Structure 1
Amino acid sequence: MREIKILEEPIELYKILKFENMVGSGGEAKYVISEGQVIVNGKIETRKRKKIFSGDIVEFGENKIRIQVK
């Protein structure tokens, strides 16, 4: 699991996928979230603008990341 440092919280879920290059674009990020392909803290998340905070774990495909505030 990788740890990702963000400058401020919360950050929207789709932005994490986009900024960490887990998807090719913001549109793709929103699509995979709406299709139920993203897991946040062990539960499927379908809200594109779900607020992500320090300590949250985001999973998509082979990627698993923990969010930390700098």
Structure 2
Amino acid sequence: MRLLHMPVLTPERIETRLGARIAAPPAFAPYVEGLHTLAACGPFTLIDAKRVDRSGRGWLIDLARMIRGAATGA
């Protein structure tokens, strides 16, 4: 994840520049596969992290998800 700075954001113009890269700290383990979202929540900042399950159970969950998606046309 990278921060995106917007020094100018008006209806007529936007300026952006890439900021620092944010990596999951070791304390996030096992959720270190990727950070997705920063969201303000009052005095807190929420960070969505992800974990990839590469076990047999994880593969079955992925397969079931694909089958449901195919059945619904998603």
Task: Give the TM interval when normalised to the shorter protein.
Answer: under 0.3
Structure with more contact order per residue of length (Cα contacts < 8 Å, sep ≥ 6): 1
Structure number, greater radius of gyration:
2
TM-score (norm 1): 0.25
TM-score (norm 2): 0.24
The structure with the greater share of residues assigned to strand is 2
